[in-house]
Structure 1
């Protein structure tokens, strides 16, 4: 048997707002996707998918708003300065910064922001 990670799915309340956030992080998502109920974006050998809550209710048979943070999405920046620049760009656009950029003990420049649905998104170099 052969198995590999192919897709990570994100449940969103407002597709346009979610996609606008991920566009800020550099994902190439066409504007016509803003009104879709399911969107997939090829990203570094796998797919990142976005589904509105109504779609997930149909798929799972229900939906409970999650509590806490169970998974991390981490976006690699090419340069350390890009972490600071991207953090500033995201927060200036009204999205929530969770932790300002810092130099982590493991040697990376690191910052954490929240997407519109409260998921913690790491930025690092």
Structure 2
């Protein structure tokens, strides 16, 4: 459904295929008001802006942001703060997310170390009992 670059249009299936998501996923983001395709009869027509917003939504989800956070970041671009505000907010959110991931990594490392220790004690006890 594409024309020249300045008026490039996409069908829902074009975007679903490009981003490897279901059309249901795209409709979900539309229902949440995160993207706003035009309607031509029963057909949704997505413009370049919708494509960019969908790309940002999916990237935000991969980075672990909530839909609320993603909306806040994307919508800020249209706000008075514009791109500068959006970028500052995104940096703040990224720092918070990185801190959360670092904490999870420490927790996982500690849990793994504990499992290794327990495994070693069990193996030693099995040897004592002649079970290995």
Mark the structure with the bigger radius of gyration: 2
Give the structure with the higher percent strand.
1
User: Is the TM-score greater than 0.5?
Assistant: no
Q: TM-score, normalised by structure 2?
A: 0.21
Q: TM-score, normalised by structure 1?
A: 0.22
> Of the two structures, which has the highest relative contact order with CA contacts closer than 8 Å and spacing of 6 or more?
1
